[in-house]
Amino acid sequence: MRYFEEQVVAAIGLGQRVRYTVTPQYRGPRTVPVTFEMKASGVTKYGTPGINLYEVVPNSVYSEKYGWRNLGVVFHDNKIEPMGAMS
């Protein structure tokens, strides 16, 4: 994500008008995205096409091979909160 965002910042720094979107992609009933679809397209101050990027970035807490990585236990009012699938 960082490289992608640095490219967008650089295009803006050159005076481009950039449309930048990030769309989370979900799998199953989970409320945490598995990947993020990132798009950026720009137009220079002369009206010519500028930056044009597209990338699908995996969520760092999910792996196709291992599934969801346990980030620990969540407590709320000194009680363990469920971390399973949301429905």
pLDDT of 4-23, one tens digit each? 999 999 999 999 999 999 99
Residue 66 in domain: no
Range(s) of the domain holding residue 56: 2-60+71-80
Pair 43, 16: CB distance under 8 Å: yes
Helix or strand run (H / E) with residue 13? helix 2-13
CA angle (45, 50, 54) in 5-degree steps: 145
Residue 65 in domain: no
Residue 25 in domain: yes
Residue 62: which pLDDT band, with cuts at 50, 70 and 90? Answer: low
Residue 43 in domain: yes
What is the number of structural domains in the chain?
1
Residue 47 in domain: yes
Pair 15, 44: CB distance under 8 Å: yes
Structure token pair of residue 62:
């999910």
Residue 85 in domain: no
74 or 55, higher pLDDT:
55
If DSSP codes are grouped into helix, strand and coil, which group holds residue 79?
strand
26 or 53, higher pLDDT:
53
Amino acid at 53: L
